[in-house]
Each structure stands twice: as structure tokens, then as C-alpha cells.
Chains A and B, each alone.
Chain A
């Protein structure tokens, strides 16, 4: 009996080591996007982006409420939600993918590592594989992550009426900035 208890205990410890995944999390990350045309520049920021990173597998997931994007002009914000991304139908933008080779990275002195990130970006109900490069550094217990990539409204089935076709860029630059803290289960 004693033996079996010990066995169970050892097994538990082993399984803990095997399966305890180290995760980092934030719900206050920043995503901004920028559309530049000769007619006008459009910029929006979302400060309530949530992200979770599994440092063992390099897997990462990002989620942002479309209504959380703030614009300079109130009317733009209303039209963004109502007419373009249709937030009532598709309330969130998500990304699910991986930081390639995360486990083999070494972190020292807050030096940023350049990494490749790839995965599925989902906006306006449309999924698209994307690949981009970013940086990750470790500051004390937190991971700081940044990435930049371009998206096209057309790829996500976001229709732009002819009247404003010159006001909205075909390539919109998206920047993401995260400070990930250890995730308490």
C-alpha cells in the first residue's frame, strides 16, 4: 500500500513537470492601425487587447474587441463599427499561431530577439494565414513582444464604397505591442 502511494505521488510530480505549461498573459495590450492616403490619414488604437503566450511551445493567441478601437473622429469610429467591420456580427479580431522556435530562444539583458510569427488571423469572419516578424525580449518576469504587419481590407471581405475609395489605404499597417505577465491559473 505504502509503495503504491509513493508511486502515485511520483507519477503526479512527473506529470506536473511534463504538463505544467508556462504561460504569460495580458489583457491590456495595444493594437493600432494606420491607413495613409493622400486624402487623409486614419489611425485607431485599442488598449484592451488580450494575449496569451505559451513559452514552452511558442503558441500564441491574441484577441481584441472591434469596439475597443478608438479613433480621433467620433464619426469614423461609428462608421468603422457599423459599416466596415460590422462589429455587431463580428465583435472580435483574433490571431492564433506560434512564435517559431520560441523554446530555443535565449533571453538576456532585455535584448530583443527577432522572431518569426505565423498563424491564422481572423477579422470580419474571414480567416487568413499570415506570417510576419517581430521582437520578443524578457524584462524581469515579463515578456515584451512587438510586431508589425500589413493587412488589406479586401482580404477580409471589408467593402469600401466607391465614394471613399481614395480615403482608405489598400494596405493598412497594424502594430501590436504587448507586455505579458506570468499567468496565474
Chain B
């Protein structure tokens, strides 16, 4: 009798156990388990809203087959006062086109009214921040440009070479999207100018830039950037570039409004050629408008 009872109980326990093993009552949980077994790599997107943080390049690239038209303005100095309508009477402009050959390779051209300069550049993404199967903590992008100063020669009687008009900037852009709201970028920069005005000016300038953004909402962010020129690499009459701005994204456009002490909109001019003393009120109001056209649609 006693034996029988034990058998009955153990059978019952076993039955319960077996039924438990089969009854996966929640199919969604089962799906969850199945998909976790096969983890994929998730690449970080939208570290910044635009391909510029403010003046400088961000790690964002224009997507493959897309053409990005960038209209940028910097007005005059705010401390010019009423007579110049706090700078609004004087505007310099840069018109730029940027094309995504692929998602990771961009080429661009631009024309600045400031120093009548044409520029051409390339941008190559080396690695993307990712999580999941493949984990990488930051994105890295190489940027390099050539600019041609188109101003009349200051001393036309001298023998002037075309190469004297050229200057170059190269950057390694390293950025991490720490959270959906916060991204930070470091931009070591090397600038070479074939020709400089005075003996005190150096041909080569080394600088390190830092830039970041904080999102206020899905479509609005506050951005800031600063470029520190390594001591002794540039004439002391040039200030470090500072900028503070706001990005507003509306469907196909990104509007960027900002204040900065730099008038130039290409790397060699704002990083190594900023003449505005921020503490003296030499602040320029400006904006960039980014408009993306999809020339080739993804398959």
C-alpha cells in the first residue's frame, strides 16, 4: 500500500514536470528567446543631425545616392552695433554640395564668399559605433580638403605661384553616441598652408577640436564646439574657434542656427584663421541649411 502511494505520487510529480516542460504558454517569450539566440549587429545612427556639428565636420555622412545642398551664412560682428544692424548688413556665404558615393564615402565642393575661396573635400568612414554581435565603442571618419584662395594677389608685382593659393586640412573625427540625447566628438586636425602672410605665421597648424550635442527633443538639439590650437603652431593673432548652436530638423531639412567667433566656414579658416575675440564681442550670428535630395533610391 505504502509502495503504491509512492509510485502514484512520483508519477504525478513526473507528469507535472513533463507538462511544465512542454507548456510554453507565452509564445512571445518563446520568440524573444529564439531571436536572442541569433543576435545581429546594430549600428548606431544619427550621432549628429547633420554632417556639420556647427562649423566643423561631424562623423555623419550623406547617405549613398543622396545629394546634400548646404547653404551657410555668417553675418557681421554683433558688436558692430545699430549702424550695421548688429552685423546683419554684412553676410558671407558658403554654398556647398556634398554627394554620397556610398554611405561611407562622400565627396563635396563649396564656394565661400569669404576670401573668394573654393574648396573640395572627401570624407571616408572607417568604422561605425555598433552593439550586438559586433561591439565597437565609437565611430571614426577621415576628412581631408583642399582650398583655393581666389583673392587678387596682394602684391601683383611679385612673382606669384598658383600653389600659393592652396591650403589643406585633414582631420580624424572620432565620435561616440553615449545615449540617444548625448553625443561627443573629438577632432584632431592638421592644417597646412602653402603660403602665409608673415614670418610669424606658420605653415603647419595642429589643433584638437571637441564638439557635442544634447537633444532637447526628437527634432531639436543644442550643439557646441571648440578648437584648441596647439601652442606654438600658429601666430598668436589667431583665436581658438568657439561656436554654440541649435539644430532644428524638419522632414527633409536641418536648420542650424548659431553664434561663433569665426567668420570662415572651411577648416583652414575657422580653425587656424579665426580673428574674432569672443570676449571683445566679436561674435557672428550664422546659420546652415541642409537640404538632402535622394538621387538614387535604395533597392
Q: Complex formed: what's the CA distance from A72 to B89 in Å?
A: 42
Instruction: Type the 1/0 row for B106-123, where 1 means its CB is closer than 8 Å to any CB of A.
Output: 000000000000000000
Determine chain A's interface SS by DSSP, over half rule: mixed
By a CB distance below 8 angstroms, the chain A residues around B11 are 4, 7-8, 11
- Contact residues, A17-41 vs B (CB, 8 A): 18-21, 25, 27
A8 neighbours in B (Cβ, 8 Å): 7, 10-11, 14
A contact residues around B1 at 8 Å (CB): none
Instruction: Give complex CA distance A16, B63 in Å.
Output: 54
B40 CB to nearest A CB, Å: 8
A20-B24 Cα distance, complex, nearest whole Å: 10
| Min CB gap A129→B, angstroms | 16
Query: How close is A72's CB to chain B, nearest CB, in angstroms?
Result: 4
Q: Given that A78-B46, A82-B45, A83-B218 are contacting pairs, would A52 and B18 also be in contact in the complex, using a CB cutoff of 8 Å?
A: no
Q: Are A4 and B7 touching (Cβ within 8 A)? A: yes
Number of contact residues on A: which range applies? 35 or more
What are the residues of chain B within 8 A of A73 when measuring CB–CB? 66, 294, 297-298
Interface residue stretch chosen among B25-33, B70-78, B199-207, B266-274: B25-33
Quick one: given A15-B18, A19-B19, A161-B250, are A83 and B219 in contact (CB under 8 Å)? yes
- Count residues on chain B whose CB falls below 8 Å from chain A CBs: 41
In the assembled complex, how far is the CB of residue B171 from the closest CB belonging to chain A, in whole angstroms? 23
User: Does any Cβ of A come within 8 Å of B188's Cβ?
Assistant: no
A5 to B, closest residue via Cβ: B7
How far is it, in angstroms, between the C-alpha of A94 and the C-alpha of B29 when the chains are bound?
Answer: 11
Q: Name the contact of B219 in the complex, choosing from A67, A70, A74, A161 (C-beta under 8 A).
A: A161
Shortest CB–CB separation between residue A104 and chain B, in angstroms? 20
Task: For B251, give its contact among A12, A27, A61, A167 (CB under 8 Å).
Answer: A167
- Specify the chain A residue showing the minimal Cβ separation from B297: A72
Closest to A168 in B: B251
Q: List 7 A-B contacts (CB under 8 A).
A: A15-B18, A63-B28, A72-B298, A74-B65, A74-B66, A75-B292, A75-B294
Apart from A52-B30, A67-B42, what 6 extra A-B contacts exist at CB < 8 Å? A21-B24, A52-B27, A59-B27, A74-B65, A75-B66, A81-B45
B residues lining the A interface (CB < 8 Å): 3-4, 7, 10-11, 14-15, 18-19, 22-24, 26-28, 30-32, 34-35, 38, 40, 42, 45-46, 63-66, 103, 180, 218-219, 249-252, 292, 294, 297-298
Residues on A lying within 8 angstroms of B by beta carbon are 3-4, 7-8, 11-12, 15-16, 18-21, 25, 27, 48, 50-52, 54, 59-63, 67, 70-75, 78-79, 81-83, 86, 88-89, 94, 96, 161, 163-164, 167
